[in-house]
Amino acid sequence: MSCQMRMEYKSCKQPEVNYRKGLWSPDEDQKLRDYILMHGVRCWSAVPAKAGLRRNGKSCRLRWINYLRPGLKRGKLSPQEEETILKLQSKIGNKWSLIALHLPGRTDNEVKNYWNSYLKQKTSKPQESDTHSLKNSALNLSIPRLTKLEELNDQILSCLKDSEQSVTPSTGDGSPKGMAADHLPKVLFADWSSFEQDNWESLFNLDDVRSSQVDDAIVLNGFKFSNTYNDF
DNA sequence: AAGGGCGGCAACCGCCTGCTT
DNA sequence: GAAGCAGGCGGTTGCCGCCCT
């Protein structure tokens, strides 16, 4: 949580209103997008009132993160992305937000939905085995229950090391990128909001992303990109 | 053409965590 | 240290469109 958020923590509370539920209309989307692009987000619970929406803050946050924010990839997951999901899920379990962090432009909701579909397929065709090394990953029930983020990231990094023989990213100082990322500033909203979809694609050289796929792609131009974007 | 089944996706719900007072 | 609040996250549900019969 940023300092500014802390300063404004106290003043976030908004009066209860009769919140609207269900699908978002284009008009609501526009209002939310306009508001956030203009003002950023310091307190989600204050956003609906200020943006003129009859939604609760959580709903706005979810809508922004899963649908409206710039840089989101739409459409079907690539085989590489699917593989990444399966790989990470087998290592760290259902940590969707963490897994999504390694899939630029994808949300935890998307990852989760993919996994649920995958599980359905898996259970409907129980005897059909995968052709690669992931065949045991999907329903692996022996995943240790890890609670600390550092442990999870360690798991991810070691997992990725196993499979990245052809790609050995370097930050120039010899340290692993994932480690370096921890010391990088998160991208500011002002910088972030200036990203156009096209820029995103060119910035995230998709071929590079595909080859290294995970953990490298979120570190760009000295910024660490977070999938949650709450520290604006 | 109609309607039933199914899959994908969007959104809600409830719990947990972290912060402030 | 306890209470209250906001944000984050995973599980779940419900809607919608497509496909098959």
Confidence of residue A37 (pLDDT cuts 50, 70, 90): confident
Specify the residue for token string 């692993």.
A176
CATH 1.10.10.60 domain locations along chain A: 3-68
Q: What integer is the mean pLDDT of A182-196?
A: 38
- How far is Cα A213 from Cα A160, in angstroms, rounded to an integer? 10
Tens of pLDDT along A38-94?
888 878 888 888 898 889 888 998 899 888 888 888 788 888 888 888 888 888 888
- Listed range (A24-38, A90-104, A128-142) with the worst mean pLDDT: A128-142
A86-125 pLDDT, tens digit per residue, is 888 888 888 888 888 888 889 889 888 888 888 777 666 5
One-letter identity of residue A227: N
Q: Is A164 helix (H, G, I), strand (E, B) or coil?
A: coil
pLDDT digits 0-9 by tens, A200-232: 444 334 344 344 443 433 333 333 434 434 334
* Residue A131 binned pLDDT confidence (cut-offs 50, 70, 90): very low
For residue A227, which nucleotide's C1' is closest to its Cα? C8
A175 CB neighbours strand B below 7 A: no
**Which nucleotide C1' is nearest A22 CA?**
B11
Residue A186: strand, helix, or coil: strand
- Nearby residues of A159 by Cβ (< 8 Å), 6 or more positions away: A87, A88, A90, A91, A92
Residues 24-53/A with CB < 7 A to strand C: 43-46
Q: Is the CB of A106 under 7 A from strand B?
A: no
According to the model, what pLDDT value does residue A153 have? Answer: 58
**Closest nucleotide to A115, Cα to C1':** B8
Confidence of residue A154 (pLDDT cuts 50, 70, 90): low
Residue type, A3: C
The answer to whether some atom of strand B lies closer than 7 Å to the beta carbon of A109 is yes
Give the sign of the dihedral formed by CA A130, CA A115, CA A88, CA A144: negative
Cβ of A146 near strand C (under 7 Å)? The reply is: no
What pLDDT was estimated at residue A124? Answer: 61
SS3 A108: helix
Q: Compute CA A90 distance to the chain's CA centroid, rounded to the nearest angstrom.
A: 18
Residue A186 pairs in a beta bridge with: A224
The answer regarding whether domain A3-68 maps to CATH 3.40.50.620 reads no
The DSSP secondary-structure symbol of A44 reads G
